[in-house]
């Protein structure tokens, strides 16, 4: 009997040890498998991991996407705003830039432009109520920002939209430079400048010399809105080696709002004829509806939409070549 009892105890101890070893081996196998999964994920970008819900939260990704946003100009990115050079490598198409003038008041209109998800440029009145917010939104969504500089007109207009901050030909150099500095401080996202009104200002050599000197110092480009056939602004910019371009078409500068579509297609035709073209529109509902209808499919009409800065890049490259 004592011998029999001893055998039972030894058998029981052996089974306990075997059970404990089995648990340890199973745990080691689980740890090894998990480690291999993790290494495979790091090397092959696997889409599944047991703990992926801890590391791939969509909100965290969204925060990371915008954490680098600043007031400094941002190069266009994304499938709807590729650079001019990238576009040319895919298929060489003429470039068409649409500038929307008189921005800075209506943030709702700015959001509508963002929703188009196409390359655009906004020219912001520096003294407008929502100038800073408009510029920040534009920069966040890779839309070019221009300072829409109020310049003296032949008709002597000193009141109305954009009259605040008006620069005249009678101002001293110090007054003009101070006004330019102030406008640029309000819109640090700006990549260039175009004129608001300015039929008299852009025809004045004294005034435009000061503006070109400022643009060259700040590394900004110039777009001549060509509000007058007497403008010397573009030619002077070229002479002073300030990157510059000129407007070809006004989409909606008069009461003929039913002609906006025709003018847009005229702009496309000019781009195909000359390799590039710039059109200027304004924050009108009729203009927005035409842009919504035709800009997303611009490639179907044989043109590539671009920002003003992309027009400048291509133009400067062609000059060097």
Cα→Cα distances 156→74, 167, 198, 277, Å? 37, 12, 10, 30
Task: Specify the pLDDT at position 276.
Answer: 97
Across residues 136-157, what is the average pLDDT? Answer: 94
pLDDT digits (tens, 9 = 90+) for 29-70: 656 555 545 444 444 433 323 323 223 333 333 333 323 333
Across residues 197-212, what is the average pLDDT? Answer: 97
Task: Specify the pLDDT at position 2.
Answer: 45
pLDDT at 209 over 80: yes
Task: Specify the pLDDT at position 254.
Answer: 81
- β-pairing, 121-124 vs 192-197, is unpaired
By mean pLDDT, which of 56-60, 131-135, 259-263 is the weakest?
56-60
Q: Cβ–Cβ contacts within 10 Å for residue 57, how many? A: 11
Cα→Cα distances 248→97, 113, 220, 280, 293, Å? 10, 21, 21, 8, 21
Across residues 290-312, what is the average pLDDT? Answer: 98
Q: Which residue's entry shows tokens 């925060």?
A: 63
Taking the CA atoms of 254, 255, 256 and 261 in sequence, report the sign of the dihedral they define: positive
pLDDT at 12 over 60: no
By mean pLDDT, which of 22-26, 254-258, 282-286 is the weakest?
22-26
Q: DSSP string of 47-98?
A: S--TTHHHH--HHHHHHHHHTT--SS-----STTS--HHHHHHH----EEEE
CA distance 263 to 5: 106
Task: Specify the pLDDT at position 34.
Answer: 52
Model-level pTM greater than 0.75?
A: no
Task: Specify the pLDDT at position 33.
Answer: 56
Task: Specify the pLDDT at position 87.
Answer: 42
pLDDT band with cut points at 50, 70 and 90 for residue 13: low
pLDDT at 170 over 60: yes
Residues of the chain above pLDDT 70, percent: 70
pLDDT band with cut points at 50, 70 and 90 for residue 83: very low
Task: Identify the H or E element spanning 223.
Answer: strand 221-224
Task: Specify the pLDDT at position 321.
Answer: 67
Task: Specify the pLDDT at position 161.
Answer: 64
pLDDT at 142 over 50: yes
CA distance 36 to 43: 11
pLDDT band with cut points at 50, 70 and 90 for residue 162: low
């Amino acid at each position: 009997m004592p011998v029999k009892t001893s055998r039972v105890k030894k058998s029981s101890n052996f089974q306990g040890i075997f059970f404990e070893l089995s648990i340890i081996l199973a745990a080691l196998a689980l740890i090894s498998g998990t480690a291999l999964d993790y290494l495979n994920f790091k090397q092959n970008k696997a889409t599944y991991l047991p703990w992926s819900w801890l590391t791939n939260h969509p909100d965290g990704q969204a925060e990371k996407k915008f954490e680098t946003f600043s007031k400094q100009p941002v190069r266009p990115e994304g499938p709807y705003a590729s650079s001019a050079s990238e576009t040319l490598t895919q298929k060489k198409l003429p470039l068409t830039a649409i500038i929307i003038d008189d921005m800075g008041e209506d943030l709702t209109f700015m959001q509508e432009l963002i929703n188009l998800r196409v390359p655009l440029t906004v020219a912001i009145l520096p003294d407008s109520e929502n100038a800073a917010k408009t510029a920040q939104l534009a920069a966040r969504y890779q839309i070019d920002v221009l300072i829409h500089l109020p310049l003296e007109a032949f008709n002597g207009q000193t009141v109305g939209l954009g009259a605040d901050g008006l620069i005249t030909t009678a101002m001293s150099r110090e007054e003009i430079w101070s006004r330019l500095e102030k406008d640029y401080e309000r819109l640090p996202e700006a990549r260039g400048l175009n004129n608001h009104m300015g039929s008299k200002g852009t025809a004045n050599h004294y005034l435009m010399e000061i503006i070109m000197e400022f643009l060259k110092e700040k590394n900004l480009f110039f777009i001549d809105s060509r509000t007058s056939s007497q403008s010397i602004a573009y030619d002077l910019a070229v002479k002073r080696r300030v990157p510059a371009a000129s407007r070809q078409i006004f989409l909606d500068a008069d009461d003929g709002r039913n002609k906006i579509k025709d003018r847009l297609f005229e702009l496309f035709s000019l781009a195909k004829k000359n390799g590039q073209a710039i059109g200027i529109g304004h924050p009108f509902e009729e203009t927005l509806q035409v842009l919504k209808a035709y800009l997303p499919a611009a490639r179907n009409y044989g043109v590539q939409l671009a920002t003003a800065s992309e027009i400048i890049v291509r133009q400067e490259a062609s000059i060097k070549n």
